[in-house]
Structure 1
C-alpha cells in the first residue's frame, strides 16, 4: 500500500515538470528553426545556461534557498539537483533564447517574468517545489533582468566582442563539464568531498569549482587556436587536476584508466569544436590571413 502511494506521488510530481519541459522545448525548437546562424544561437544558449548555473551554485548549492521535488531520481539529493538542472538548463534559458531570437521587447520580458512567477506559485501549491529563504518576488524581479542580459549578450556576441567571446567559450565548457560530472556522480563513478566520508553536500560544492577551474584553463588554452598543442595542454591539465584531487583524497573515482582517458579526449575535442563555433574555424582564419597577405603582395608589386 505504501509503495502504491509512493508511486502515485512520484507520478504526480513528474507531470508538472514534464508539461513545462514540453512547452519550453517547443520554444527552443522554434528558435533554432527560424535561426540562420545556429552556431551563434547555440553559443548564446550555453552562455544563458552558464549564467543560471553560476547563480544556482550560490543560491542552491551553498545557501539552500529552495528544493525541487520532481521525483525522477530515488535519491532526494540528486532529485533536487536534477530539478535545478531542468530549471536552470531548460525552463528559463530556453525561454530567454526564444525571446532574444524573436526580438521581443520589454513587455514580453515582463510577461515572461509573470509567467515564471505563476509557475513557481503553482509548483509551490502542488508541493513539487519548496522555499526555504527564497521569495517569489525575487523570481519576479530577476527573470526579466535575466532576459535582458540575454539580449545584451547576443548583441555583443554578434559584434565579436573579445571579452564576451572569451566568457561565452568559458561558460560553454563549464556547463558541459558540470553536466558530465552530474552524470558520473549519479552513476556512482565519481564523488568529491573532504576526509574519509564524502557527503553529497560537499560533492556539489566542489563540482562547480572543479568545472570552473578546468573550463578556465581550457578556454585560455584554446584562445589562440584549436590545434593539437592546445588539446594536449588541456588533456595534461585535466589529468593533473584529477591526480591532485586523488592525492589529497578529495575525490573517489571508479573509472578504468582507459575509459577515463577516452571520455576525457572526446570532451577535449568537443571543447575545441566549441572554440571554432565561437571564434570561427582555423581554416577560415588561415584563408583570411592568406587574403590579407595576397592583397599586400599585389599592392607591393604595383608600387
Structure 2
C-alpha cells in the first residue's frame, strides 16, 4: 500500500521542516507587510514547482528518499514537495523580507549545498545527472529573482501581478490535487494502468491549464459571471480527461471533485482582491478610496 509509512529515513527531512517552519513564523511575526509577503511566497513556491516539474518529473535529475512512503515514486515526489513548497521558498521569503544582502544569500546557498552533500552521504538523496555545483549556482539567482518579484509587486507591474495570481492558484491547486490523489487514490496517466511517476508528469499539465484559465477568467470578472465561467471550464476539462482515460478511479466523486474546483476558484477571487486592490491601496495610500470601495 502506498500510504504505509516507513520510518527509516524521515528524520533529516523532519528536522529541516521544523527549522524552516520556525524561519517562516519568525519572518511573518517581525514583518508587517504580510499580505504582499504571502503573495510573494506563493509566487516563489509556484516557480519552484515549475522548476521541479521539468528537472525532476521530466528529466529525472535526482531522487529524494525521505522514506515517508513505501512506494518509491510517491516517496520521491513527496520529498520534492517538501523541498519546493517549504525548504527553499521559506528561506527565500526570509531573505526578501529582511533585505538580506549578498553575504547572507551566499551563506544560505552554501547551506543548501552542504545539506545536499550531507543527504547524499546519508542516502536520503541521490543525484542522477544533477551536480551540487548547479545548486550553489542557481539558488542565489532564485534569491535575487524573489527580491525583484517582491519589488515589482510593490510597484504594481501588471505582468508580475498576473504572474502572482496564476502561480498562487497553481500552488493551491497542486497541493489540493496531490493531497486528494494520495488520500483517494485517483491518478492521472496514459494507458490502462497509471503509475505514480506518470501521475506527477501528467497532473501538473492539468493543473497548469486550469490555473491559467481560472486566472484569466477571474482577473476579467471575479463576480458571478467569472466564477460560473471558471467552474464551467473545470467541468469541460474533467470531461476531457475522463473520456480520454487520462484520469481514472475516484475522479468522478461529486463532492471531492467539485470541492477542489470551487476552492481553487474562490481562492483565485481572494488572491485577485489582495493583488489588485488591497496591495495597491496600501502602497498608494488611497485609504479613503479603498474604504469607499469596501476594501
TM-score (norm 1): 0.88
In structure 2, the partner of 1:154 is: 150
The two structures, once aligned, show a CA RMSD in angstroms of 2.1
Moved more, 101-110 or 219-228: 219-228
Q: Does 1:268 align with 2:236?
A: no
User: Per-residue CA shift, 1:51-93, capped at 9, x if unaligned?
Assistant: 1111100110001111111111222111110100010110011
Q: How far off is 1:260 after superposition?
A: 2.2
Tell me if 1:62 matches 2:77.
no
How far residue 225 of structure 1 moved from its aligned partner, in angstroms, is 4.0
Larger Rg: 1
* Alignment CA distance shift 1:253-1:160 (3 Å): farther
Q: Residue 201 of structure 1: CA displacement?
A: 2.2
Task: Tell me whether 1:94 sits opposite 2:90 in the alignment.
Answer: yes
* 2:63 aligned counterpart, secondary structure: strand
Question: 1:256: which partner in 2?
Answer: 253
SS in 1 for 2:248: strand
Which residue of structure 1 aligns with residue 190 of structure 2? 194
Q: Distance in 1 between matches of 2:67 and 2:246?
A: 29
- Does 2:18 align with 1:22? yes
Report whether the alignment pairs 1:208 with 2:239: no
Question: How much does 1:247 deviate?
Answer: 1.2
Matched, 1:42 2:28: no
Aligned pair in 2 of structure 1 residues 82, 259: CA closer, same or farther (>3 Å)? closer
Instruction: Please give the alpha-carbon distance, in whole angstroms, between the structure 2 residues aligned to 1:242 and 1:233.
Output: 14
Counterpart Cα distance in 2 of 1:232 and 1:42: 27
CA contact (8 A) 2:176 2:260 kept: no
Whole-Å separation in 2 of the counterparts to 1:221 and 1:248:
25
Equivalent position SS for 1:67: strand
**CA drift at 1:105:** 0.5
Query: Mapping of 1:135-146 within 5 angstroms?
Result: 135-146=131-142
Deviates more, 1:89-98 or 1:181-190: 181-190
The 3 A distance-change label for structure 1 pair 290 and 110 is closer
TM-score, with normalisation over the residues of structure 2?
A: 0.90
